[in-house]
Amino acid sequence: MNSVIILVFSIVWVAVAYYWYGKKRIQDRLMAPLDREATPANAINDGVDYSPAPKLVLFGHHFSSIAGAGPIVGPIIAVAAFGWGPAVLWLLIGGVFIGAVHDYLSLMISVKRKGASIPDAADEYVSRRARFLFLLFVLLALVLVIAVFAAFAARIMVTMPEIVLPTFLLIPLAIGFGVMQKRQALPLPVLTIFAIVGLAGLIWLGFALPVTFPNYGFWFAMLMMYAFAASVTPVWILLQPRDYISSWVLIIGVVLALAGIFIIHPPMNAPAFTTFVHDKQGPMMPFLFIIIACGAVSGFHSIVASGTTSKQLRKEKDALPVAFGGMLAETVIGIISVIIAGGALAWTGVGGLHDLLGASTPLNVYGQGFGKLTAFIFGSKLGALIGATIINIFIMTTLDTSVRLGRFLTVEMFGESLPKVRNNKFAVTLLPIIPAFWLGISGEWKAVWPVFGSANQLVAALVLIIVTAYLYSKGKPIVYTVWATVFMLITTITALVLLAKKYLLADQPNWMLGILSVVLIILALSMILEGLKFLNTRSTAQPVAGGD
C-alpha cells in the first residue's frame, strides 16, 4: 500500500474524531457546563507552579511533555515485530477512544480539584488506601522515567556532538522568550517567529561547532543539574516557553516529514502483518498494546495532565484542544513513525529496518528514515541529524517536566506528615532526583526497564478506574470509560503474568524482574478491589442517575 493513503486517512480520522467524539460526546456530555468557576491557575496563581498560560503556549507545554520519544520508539518496534497493519489500527482506535479520553478527563478532574494530581483523586473517588498505593507506584515510575530519559539524552550527546549546543543554548533562548511574553513586549506570533529563527540558528551552530566530549557521566550529571534547576524555576520563565518553542520544533519536523511523504510517497516496504507471536516481543495480544503506548494511550500522560498542565489552564474550554487535541496530534506522529519504519526504510538488507534496529536503537532508525524523507531538502545525512535533534529536544522537555512532577507527587504523599519538607521545594525535589541519579549513573535502570512498558500501561488502567469512579459519583455516563478500563486492565495484567512467568521460570531466573511483575499484578488487583468496593458502596447508598 502507498504510504500517502495511510497518512491521509489517519489525518481525516483524527480531525473528524476530535469534533464528533471529543467535543460532542466527551466534553459536552461528561464535563459541561464549563468555565463557571476560575481554574486553579487563576484562583491560586502563585507565579511558580500555578500560572495561567495562553492556549497555544499551554498546548506547546503539554504536547512537548507527553510526546518525548514515545510515539517514535513504540510504533517502530511494533512494525518490526508485527507489521504496519496492527500498529496503524491500534494507534487510530486507541488514540481516539482510549488515549484522548484518558488524557482529557485526567486534566479536567485535576482542574476540578484545585490542580491535585490524578493519583491524589483516588482518595476521594476510590479510597485512602488506593491513593497511597497509586501515589507510591507513580512516584517510583517517575524516578525511573527521569533516570532513563536523562540517560538517553546523555548517550545521544556522546554519539552526536552536533546536538549539544542547540540542546543547552535553547535554555537562555526560552528564558528570553518567557520574560518577553510575561511583559507582553511583543505579540505572541512575533515572538514565536523570533524563537523559531533563533532555534534554527542554534541548530546550524551545533552542526558547525560540535562539542566532542565522550563522557557519558559528565553529560548525565549536567542534565540532572539542569532538570533540578528547571523544576524549581517559575513555570513562565522556562517550562512554558521552552516547551512551547520545542512544540514548534516538532510541528516543523512533522511538516517536513509530511512533505517528504507526499513528495516521495514511498510504498510500504514492510508487510501489513507478520505474525501473532514474535520470537522476541512475545504474542501480539497483549504486547502490541504495551509496546505502543504514546500515540495510543499512555499512563504518563495523565501524570503530566494532572501535574503541570492543570496548574496552567486558563479556561476549562482550553482543555479539549490541549489534552484531547494533543493526544490526537501524538497519534499522527505515531502514524508518521510507522511510515518511516515501514515505508521510508527497506524491510531487510543493509540500511533496512531490521538491520538498523539490530545495530542501533529506534531513535537512530527514526533519524535515518527522517533523513531519507527529507533528503530532497537537506540531503540524507543532514536530515538524519535534524531528526535526531528533534528527538533530543523532546527528551529534554519530558525530563524537566518529570522532575517537577516528582516534586508535586512527593509533596502529595509526604506533605501532611512532613510539613517542613513540604514547604521546601529544593528538598522535595531532591527526593526523586537522588535515586534517579543513582539509577542513571550506575546503569541499574537497565535492569528495571524491561517491565516499564507494562507498568506505564498499568498506570493508564488505574487512572481509568479513578476516572470511571469520578463519573459514576457525579451521575455521568460511564460507558465511555468503563470498557476502556476493563480492556486496559486485562491487557496489562495478562502482560505482567506472561512477564512473571518468563522471568521466574527461566533456566536462569531473573528474580528481581519476576518479583516486580508479581508486585505490579498485586497492585492492579488491589486497585480493582478498591474500585469495586467504591461502586458497591455508592450503589447501595443511593441511586446514581445517568450512570449507564
More confident residue, 178 or 68: 178
Q: 282-285: long-range contacts at Cβ-Cβ below 8 A with a sequence spacing of 24 or more?
A: 282/498, 282/502, 283/498, 284/81, 284/82, 284/86, 285/491, 285/494
Answer yes or no: are the C-beta atoms of 295 and 66 closer than 8 Å.
no
Residues in the chain, total: 548
- Using a 10 angstrom Cβ sphere, with 0-12 exposed, 13-18 middle and 19 or more buried, the burial of residue 12 is exposed
User: For residues 149 and 286, what is the distance between their CA atoms, to the nearest angstrom?
Assistant: 25
Q: Based on DSSP, count helices (H) and strands (E) in the chain, helices before strands.
A: 27, 2
Q: Is residue 546 part of a domain?
A: no
Q: Which of 67-71, 308-312, 456-460 has the weakest average pLDDT?
A: 67-71
CB 372 within 8 A of CB 344: yes
**Per mean pLDDT, which range of 3-17, 31-45, 386-400 is the poorest?**
386-400
pLDDT tens for 163-191 read: 888 888 989 999 999 999 888 888 988 99
Q: Is the pLDDT of residue 281 over 70?
A: yes
Give the end-to-end CA distance of the chain in Å, rounded to a whole number.
41
Domain for residue 545, yes or no? no
Name the grid cell of 455. 507498568
Q: What is the DSSP letter of 95?
A: I
In DSSP notation, 244-295 reads HHHHHHHHHHHHHHHHHHHHH--B--S-S---SEETTTEEHHHHHHHH--TT
Q: Contact, 484 vs 101, CB < 8 A?
A: yes
| Residue with cell string 523532546 | 394
**Separation in Å, CA 404 to CA 58, 117, 247, 307, 398:** 16, 12, 19, 8, 10
Of 304, 310, 311, 300, nearest to 137 by C-alpha is 300
Task: Give the 3-state secondary structure of residue 53.
Answer: strand
Helix, strand, coil shares of the chain, percent, nearest 5, are 80, 0, 20
For 21-36, what is each residue's pLDDT tens digit?
A: 999 999 999 998 888 8
Record the cell numbers describing residue 85, joined without a space: 497493519
Which residues are within 8 A (CB) of 201 and not within 5 positions of it... i.e. 6 or more apart? none
What's residue 64's pLDDT? 85
pLDDT beyond 80 at 547: no
Q: Domains in the chain: how many in total?
A: 1
- Cβ neighbours of residue 517 under 8 Å, at least 6 residues apart? 451, 454, 496, 497, 499, 500, 503
Q: What is the DSSP string of 484-532?
A: HHHHHHHHHHHHHHHHHHHHHSSSS--HHHHHHHHHHHHHHHHHHHHHH
Q: State the average pLDDT for the chain.
A: 88
Rg of the chain in Å (alpha carbons): 22
Q: Is the confidence at residue 236, as pLDDT, over 50?
A: yes
Cis upstream peptide for 33 (omega within 30°) = yes
Instruction: State how far the Cα of 194 lies from the Cα of 200, in Å rounded to an integer.
Output: 10
Instruction: Say what the pLDDT of residue 332 is.
Output: 95
Q: Is residue 423 part of a domain?
A: yes
How far apart CA 51 and CA 312 sit, in angstroms, is: 5
Are 268 and 6 in contact by the 8 Å Cβ rule? The answer is: yes
Measured between alpha carbons, how far is 345 from 259 in angstroms, rounded to an integer? 17
Assigned domain for 547 exists: no
Q: Which domain holds residue 452?
A: 3-539
Looking at residues 333-344, what average pLDDT do you find?
Answer: 93
d(CA 215, CA 60): 32
Quick count: other Cβ atoms within 10 Å of Cβ 378?
Answer: 16
Tell me whether residue 186 is in a domain: yes
What confidence tens digit (pLDDT) does each residue in 130-141 have?
Answer: 778 788 888 888
Say if 411 falls within a structural domain: yes
Q: Which of 58-62, 128-132, 299-303, 538-542 has the lowest mean pLDDT?
A: 538-542
The answer to the question of residue 134 being in a domain is yes
Give the separation between CA 217 and CA 354, rounded to whole angstroms.
30
**Cβ distance 308 to 404 under 8 Å?**
yes
Mind listing the pLDDT tens digit for each residue in 467-476? 998 999 889 9
Average pLDDT over residues 251-270: 90
pLDDT at 548 over 50: no
For 283-329, what is the HEC assignment?
EHHHHHHHHCCCCCCCHHHHHHHHHCHHHCECCHHHHHHHHHHHHHH
pLDDT reading at 546 higher than 60: no
- Least Cα distance to 241 among 64, 40, 111 occurs for 64
CA separation for the pair 161, 211 (Å, rounded): 5
Specify if 359 maps to a domain: yes
| Tens-place pLDDT, residues 345-394 | 888 888 889 888 887 778 778 888 888 888 888 887 778 877 877 777 77
- Percent of the chain scored above 90 by pLDDT? 43
Mean pLDDT is lowest, of 2-6, 69-73, 515-519, for 69-73
In 163-215, which residue ranges form alpha helices assigned H by DSSP?
A: 164-182, 188-208
Q: For residue 307, give the CATH number of its domain.
A: 1.20.1740.10
Distances (CA, A) of 498 to 195, 283, 462, 518: 48, 10, 19, 10
The DSSP output letter for 548 is -
Q: What is the pLDDT of residues 90-115, one digit of tens each?
A: 999 999 999 999 999 999 999 999 99
